[in-house]
């Protein structure tokens, strides 16, 4: 239970916000999410770095059972910055009895951190952050409860049993939400369609890139033709990429090479798929690595996702000057622009046709990519952090 120091924080938050000096106040911010991999973890890392630079005290609470060597290195680089530390505890992916024990462990951790702001990311992190923040309020401790879906449960079909359950839960959790944040207009439309018009205040804040990420990446001398980089799960489409690669080889009657970077429990299935199609000697599987390092491994990046919110990998690759084929799902068209010839449907034939076109004339295909100056103006990390900080102070006020 929070002590006297925590209980006294509520009037201070309201007074300072009302006085117009909120932007000068240092906040205690805790980001809560389940899996420290992929776009959510990248988003949180960028936010924490910007928030620490702005003078806030920041901490992270997330799952301890996912992630690998790359994620451990990223945590090691973050820890010296985080005044509230990195707290990792088991959090299961699916809803089940283990959630009760997991939630209690998470609540005790967050209670000790005494945050002003609890920001939940993804479905599980969003539920935990809003539950824990509401419990803290029972003890007269003022804490702002924010939620960013990052796609999450919004990927479910609203007519399915699982979808109805999740969207009903999302509607219920709005009662315990001070501000909703969406990373793409697509995500906001999906929420309205599947859950309903947001009841708490909401904002659209695009993911952002640091200035250093707009530097071009030089290709390695032995670079492959195509690159897939991402989690090894069907939602991200690695199976579509493999099938499309094999089909392009038949269409062009020439051998092509590819690199697939990423990890996940389905990785053995994709290795078997490559072997079954007879292209195992031309496809390399590599462990997760920093995106710029992966970008040097191939000339054209393929993002074959079946569903997305606002994928960082698309922004990063385009900022680094890479050519890219991407599926027209989620917020990806908001990056390229509707009708971009670089976009295709998440289907093997469409991917294969576009891959054949790109490899036939790489220079012409590169000219189809969005201009860097346009990307920088819309997707800057400084803009993202500033807009989210504004939402924090609005929720506290």
Can you give the pTM of this predicted structure? 0.81
In this predicted model, what pLDDT tens digit does every residue of 32-45 receive, in sequence order?
999 998 889 999 99
Q: Report the C-alpha gap between 208 and 375 in whole angstroms.
A: 9
Count of CA atoms in the C-beta half-sphere (13 A) of 389: 26
Helices 238-252, 267-276: inter-axial angle, 10-degree rounding:
20
Instruction: Give bridge partners of residue 344 from the DSSP assignment.
Output: 327
Q: How many CB atoms lie within 10 A of CB 358?
A: 23
Structure tokens at 324: 């890219």
What is the DSSP-derived secondary structure letter of residue 387?
A: H
Do 68 and 287 touch, CB atoms closer than 8 A? yes
Report residues of the chain scoring pLDDT below 50: 1-23
Q: Do domains 4-208+380-396 and 212-378 have the same CATH topology?
A: yes
CA–CA separation, 205 vs 225, rounded Å?
34
Q: Which two tokens stand for residue 235?
A: 């939602």
pLDDT at residue number 34: 93
Contact partners, residue 183, CB within 8 Å, separation at least 6: 43, 148, 149, 150, 204, 205, 206, 207, 309, 310, 331
Q: What is the pLDDT of residue 95?
A: 65
> Domain residues of the chain, as ranges?
4-208+380-396, 212-378
Cα R_g (the chain), whole angstroms? 22
pLDDT on residue 96: 65
| Dist CA 207 CA 380 (whole Å) | 8
pLDDT at 1: 40
Residue 354: how many CB atoms within 10 A of its CB?
A: 23
pLDDT value, residue 27? 97
Look up residue 351 and give its DSSP letter: H
Is the alpha carbon torsion for 242, 247, 250, 256 positive or negative? negative
**pLDDT for 205:** 96
Q: At what angle do helices 69-78 and 38-53 cross, to 10 degrees?
A: 10
* 4-208+380-396 CATH, one of 3.30.420.40, 3.40.50.720, 3.40.50.2000, 3.30.70.580: 3.40.50.2000
Q: At the top level of CATH, which class does the domain 212-378 belong to? A: alpha beta
Secondary structure of residue 23 in the 3-state scheme? helix
Where is 283: in which H helix or E strand?
strand 283-286
Tokens of residue 63, six digits: 């799952």
Distance between CA 201 and CA 179 in Å, rounded?
5
**pLDDT value at position 38?**
85
H/E run at residue 130: helix 122-138
Question: Quick one: pLDDT at residue 24?
Answer: 64
**pLDDT at residue 12 in the model:** 36
């Amino acid at each position: 239970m929070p002590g006297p120091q925590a209980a006294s924080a509520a009037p201070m938050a309201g007074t300072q916000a009302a006085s117009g000096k909120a932007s000068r106040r240092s906040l205690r911010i805790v980001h809560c999410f389940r899996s420290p991999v992929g776009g959510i973890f990248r988003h949180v890392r960028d936010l924490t770095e910007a928030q620490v630079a702005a003078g806030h005290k920041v901490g992270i609470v997330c799952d301890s059972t996912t992630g690998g060597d790359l994620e451990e290195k990223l945590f090691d680089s973050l820890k010296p910055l985080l005044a509230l530390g990195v707290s990792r505890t088991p959090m299961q992916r699916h809803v089940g009895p283990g959630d009760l024990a997991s939630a209690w462990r998470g609540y005790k951790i967050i209670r000790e951190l005494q945050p002003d702001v609890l920001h939940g990311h993804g479905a599980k992190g969003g539920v935990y952050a809003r539950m824990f923040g509401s419990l803290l309020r029972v003890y007269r401790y003022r804490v702002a409860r924010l939620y960013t879906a990052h796609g999450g449960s919004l990927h479910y079909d609203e007519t399915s049993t699982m979808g109805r359950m999740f969207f009903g839960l999302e509607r219920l959790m709005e009662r315990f939400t001070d501000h909703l944040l969406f990373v793409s207009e697509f995500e906001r439309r999906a929420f309205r369609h599947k859950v309903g018009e947001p009841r708490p205040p909401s904002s659209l804040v695009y993911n952002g890139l640091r200035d250093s990420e707009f530097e071009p990446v030089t290709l390695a001398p032995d670079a492959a033709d195509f690159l897939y980089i991402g989690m090894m799960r069907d939602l991200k489409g690695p199976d579509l990429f493999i099938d499309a690669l094999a089909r392009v080889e038949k269409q062009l009657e020439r051998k092509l090479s590819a690199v697939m970077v990423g990890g996940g429990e389905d990785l053995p299935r994709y290795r078997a798929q490559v072997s079954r199609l007879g292209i195992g000697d031309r496809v390399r599987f590599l462990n997760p690595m920093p995106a710029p390092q992966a970008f040097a491994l191939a000339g054209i990046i393929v993002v074959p996702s079946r569903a997305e919110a606002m994928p960082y990998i698309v922004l990063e690759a385009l900022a680094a000057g890479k050519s890219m084929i991407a599926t027209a799902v989620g917020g990806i068209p908001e990056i390229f622009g509707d009708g971009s010839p670089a976009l295709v449907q998440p289907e093997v034939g469409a991917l294969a046709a576009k891959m054949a076109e790109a490899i036939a004339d790489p220079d012409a295909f590169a000219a189809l990519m969005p201009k860097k100056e346009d990307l920088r103006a819309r997707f800057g990390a400084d803009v993202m952090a500033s807009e989210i900080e504004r939402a924090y102070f609005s929720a506290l006020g």
